[in-house]
Amino acid sequence: MSRIISAAVKSNKPPIFPLIFDCYIDTIIVFFPTSTLPRQDWNLLRTLYGATPHHHRNRKMGYMLVGFQCPQPDMLRALTRLNSGKLYRLDIGCDARHAEDYTVEEQHRFLKEHMLLMHRTAKRILEIENEDTTIGCYYCPHAHIQGALRDICLYWGLNSKLDPLNICAHFDLRLRGEPIRHLGLDRLEHLDPSGLVLRHIRFVEFERRQWERKLFRKVMKEARSLPEATALIAYMKRHDQLDYVQRVHDQHQRVTLHTSNDLVMLPDTLTWGATRRKSKEKAIYNEINALGMDDCILRGQEYAS
25 shares its domain with 118: yes
Helix (H, G, I), strand (E, B) or coil at 133: coil
In angstroms, rounded to a whole number, what is the distance separating the alpha carbons of residues 52 and 67? 10
99 shares its domain with 216: no
292 shares its domain with 146: yes
Chain mean pLDDT for the chain: 85
124 shares its domain with 247: no
Q: Give 108-139 pLDDT, tens digit per residue.
A: 999 999 999 999 999 999 998 877 778 899 99
176 shares its domain with 282: yes
> Which of these, 167, 143, 166, 163, lies nearest to 153 by C-alpha position?
143
38 shares its domain with 77: yes
Q: Give 197-222 pLDDT, tens digit per residue.
A: 999 999 999 998 999 898 898 888 88
pLDDT for 281 equals 60
213 shares its domain with 281: no
Q: Give 277-305 pLDDT, tens digit per residue.
A: 776 566 665 666 555 444 444 444 455 44
In angstroms, rounded to a whole number, what is the distance separating the alpha carbons of residues 194 and 259? 15
159 shares its domain with 288: yes
Partnered with residue 170 across adjacent β-strands are: 95, 155
Helix (H, G, I), strand (E, B) or coil at 22: strand
| Structural domain count, the chain | 2
115 shares its domain with 224: no
Are 261 and 204 within 8 A, CB to CB? no
In a domain, 258, yes or no: no
68 shares its domain with 48: yes
Q: Which domain covers residue 221, as residue numbers? A: 208-251
Helix (H, G, I), strand (E, B) or coil at 193: helix
What is the SS3 assignment for 156-171? EEEECCCCCCCEEEEE
39 shares its domain with 162: yes
